[in-house]
Chains A and B, each alone.
Chain A
């Protein structure tokens, strides 16, 4: 199966502080891969590298076969991203927010409108399309961001702690929605420190102190043990 993203030998530092050390992994097409790590593990740094916001030295990132450093436009066109910090224009409607993002990816007019409708429908947000974002709760705002990230039909969806600050119901709904996306062949890299968001069928990458400590199918990596205590044991209770 082709890889949606392949990362090889990636390291990065923030001044004297190493953030990522020799990180290598791949997420195959249509797989949900959880990037599990405690706070400060390097998850957001990795997300910033994968979205081209920072350039690693050294390291190579391929997205859908495109080298992020050499052909950034081809690589970025295949990535949908939901950052940890919401990126919303609260004074605009859901539809207007999505229209702006669609335009950044070259979609306008009817093509954009039909994609916006389809993506909102998929995330159960069709009825909210004309509401101002300020009027929506945190869960719905997050869903809008996920719908927005799907507008340009990416092969890889990156989500950085997308459920932080949400209540249990909203967290559950978003986790379910994103898992469902994999059925359509979209690959998901889901950064989190919350082990209860993982399913036994997921792939898992455990990141700690900027290094990958374990990776593979979740059941195989944990040896069938419950994820939460395993995670705590692996990170020395840092979660």
Chain B
């Protein structure tokens, strides 16, 4: 009972914090919508798309990037959770959490689930706006997307969690943007199919294939059409496990040896 009460409180706190930060919510929505309404319109003329699975007919560029933009929302949401964890570490809330009499993996798991839930809520709103815009999927597509989105959110949240265990200060977070978010997003199939990249830059295509975000996007893309991409599922599950293990390892007491401030205390 104790773990459930604690997990519920951690998730509720994360949600309450998200709801009170309206700017964060708006930014999370504006980013993919700009891609959808502005960039997609521009790229539509430049990019010709052939028929590739799971599509069975020619599709518009907006249709192609819809799953990728869902992934983008989750990617930024995951990193935002990481940022809030670094903030929690700086303001001491993380210490309060880690001194609770519960296993560390459980506490971090609850944090991860909380972040994934807020990410999912953002995707739902994004998909609703896309639906109004005319990008409609079949109802079972939306239903099948939910577990895929949740898994992708967990994977990206676990990555954020692992990163936050190594980032000591908020100022260092800009590096995460440059070295994690942008490469992950642009070296994936979110904006262009793999064959297109293979034609022009085979090395980049290989990197794309190794990028877990690619697999998360493909998992979402296939799910949107009621199909299961087993390879993508396997990669995403594996990456989630590796990232979460790295996060738990990073938050282990013996690892926090950077100085008393690293543990949240001051020199004294």
CB distance from A13 to the nearest CB of B (A): 8
Contact A103 B9, CB 8 Å, known A14-B260, A87-B93, A89-B93: yes
Contact A105 B2, CB 8 Å, known A53-B264, A91-B20: yes
Contact A53 B92, CB 8 Å, known A103-B9, A104-B97, A191-B268: no
| Bound Cα distance A107, B3 (Å) | 10
When the two chains form their complex, are residues A55 and B253 in contact, meaning their CB atoms are under 8 A apart?
Answer: yes
When the two chains form their complex, are residues B263 and A87 in contact, meaning their CB atoms are under 8 A apart?
Answer: no
Q: Is A203 an interface residue (CB 8 A)?
A: no
3 closest residue pairs by CB, A with B? A106-B2, A103-B9, A87-B92
| Bound Cα distance A40, B268 (Å) | 4
When the two chains form their complex, are residues B101 and A161 in contact, meaning their CB atoms are under 8 A apart?
Answer: no
Contact A51 B267, CB 8 Å, known A14-B259, A103-B5, A103-B6: no
When the two chains form their complex, are residues B268 and A161 in contact, meaning their CB atoms are under 8 A apart?
Answer: yes
CB distance from A162 to the nearest CB of B (A): 12
When the two chains form their complex, are residues A48 and B268 in contact, meaning their CB atoms are under 8 A apart?
Answer: no
Q: Is A25 an interface residue (CB 8 A)?
A: no
| Bound Cα distance A85, B266 (Å) | 7
Q: Is A238 an interface residue (CB 8 A)?
A: no
Q: Which residues from chain B contact A73 at a C-beta distance below 8 Å?
A: 101-103
When the two chains form their complex, are residues B9 and A160 in contact, meaning their CB atoms are under 8 A apart?
Answer: no
Q: Which residues from chain B contact A45 at a C-beta distance below 8 Å?
A: 260, 265, 268
When the two chains form their complex, are residues B265 and A48 in contact, meaning their CB atoms are under 8 A apart?
Answer: yes
Q: Is B100 an interface residue (CB 8 A)?
A: yes
Return the contact of B268 from the options A44, A87, A99, A105 (Cβ within 8 A).
A44
A positions within 8 Å CB-CB of B: 14-15, 19, 37, 39-45, 47-48, 51-55, 57, 72-77, 79, 81, 83-89, 91, 99-101, 103-108, 160-161, 191, 193
Query: For residue A15, which residue of chain B has the nearest CB?
Result: B257
Per-residue CB contact flags for chain B residues 62-95 toward chain A (1 = under 8 Å, else 0) read 0000000000000000000000000000011101
When the two chains form their complex, are residues A79 and B260 in contact, meaning their CB atoms are under 8 A apart?
Answer: no
When the two chains form their complex, are residues A83 and B95 in contact, meaning their CB atoms are under 8 A apart?
Answer: yes
When the two chains form their complex, are residues B99 and A39 in contact, meaning their CB atoms are under 8 A apart?
Answer: no
CB distance from A17 to the nearest CB of B (A): 9
| Bound Cα distance A105, B1 (Å) | 10
Return the contact of B92 from the options A57, A74, A85, A103 (Cβ within 8 A).
A85
Per-residue CB contact flags for chain B residues 226-268 toward chain A (1 = under 8 Å, else 0) read 0000000000000000000000000011101111100111111
Per-residue CB contact flags for chain B residues 10-23 toward chain A (1 = under 8 Å, else 0) read 10010000001000
Q: Which residues from chain A contact B117 at a C-beta distance below 8 Å?
A: none
Grouping DSSP codes into helix (H, G, I), strand (E, B) and loop, the A interface class, with mixed when no group exceeds half, is loop
When the two chains form their complex, are residues A106 and B6 in contact, meaning their CB atoms are under 8 A apart?
Answer: yes
When the two chains form their complex, are residues A83 and B101 in contact, meaning their CB atoms are under 8 A apart?
Answer: no
Q: Is B98 an interface residue (CB 8 A)?
A: yes
Q: Is B136 an interface residue (CB 8 A)?
A: no
When the two chains form their complex, are residues B103 and A54 in contact, meaning their CB atoms are under 8 A apart?
Answer: no
Return the contact of A104 from the options B1, B96, B267 (Cβ within 8 A).
B96
Query: For residue B107, which residue of chain A has the nearest CB?
Result: A104
Q: Is B44 an interface residue (CB 8 A)?
A: no
CB distance from A212 to the nearest CB of B (A): 15
Q: Which residues from chain A contact B257 at a C-beta distance below 8 Å?
A: 14-15, 54
| Bound Cα distance A80, B2 (Å) | 17
Which of A48, A53, A88, A193 counts the most chain B CB atoms within 10 A? A53
When the two chains form their complex, are residues B1 and A48 in contact, meaning their CB atoms are under 8 A apart?
Answer: no
Q: Which residues from chain B contact A54 at a C-beta distance below 8 Å?
A: 253-254, 256-257, 263
When the two chains form their complex, are residues B91 and A105 in contact, meaning their CB atoms are under 8 A apart?
Answer: no
CB distance from B170 to the nearest CB of A (A): 15
| Bound Cα distance A85, B92 (Å) | 7
When the two chains form their complex, are residues A43 and B268 in contact, meaning their CB atoms are under 8 A apart?
Answer: yes
Q: A87-B96, A105-B101 are in contact. List 15 more A-B contacts (CB 8 A).
A: A41-B268, A43-B268, A51-B95, A57-B254, A73-B101, A83-B92, A84-B266, A87-B95, A89-B93, A100-B13, A103-B8, A104-B100, A104-B102, A106-B6, A191-B268
CB distance from A25 to the nearest CB of B (A): 17
When the two chains form their complex, are residues A84 and B268 in contact, meaning their CB atoms are under 8 A apart?
Answer: yes
Q: Which residues from chain A contact B13 at a C-beta distance below 8 Å?
A: 89, 100
CB distance from B98 to the nearest CB of A (A): 6
Return the contact of A76 from the options B93, B100, B267 (Cβ within 8 A).
B100
CB distance from A133 to the nearest CB of B (A): 12
Query: For residue A37, which residue of chain B has the nearest CB?
Result: B268
Q: Which residues from chain A contact B254 at a C-beta distance below 8 Å?
A: 54-55, 57
Return the contact of B267 from the options A40, A77, A83, A91 (Cβ within 8 A).
A40
Query: For residue B256, which residue of chain A has the nearest CB?
Result: A54
Q: Which residues from chain B contact A77 at a C-beta distance below 8 Å?
A: 101
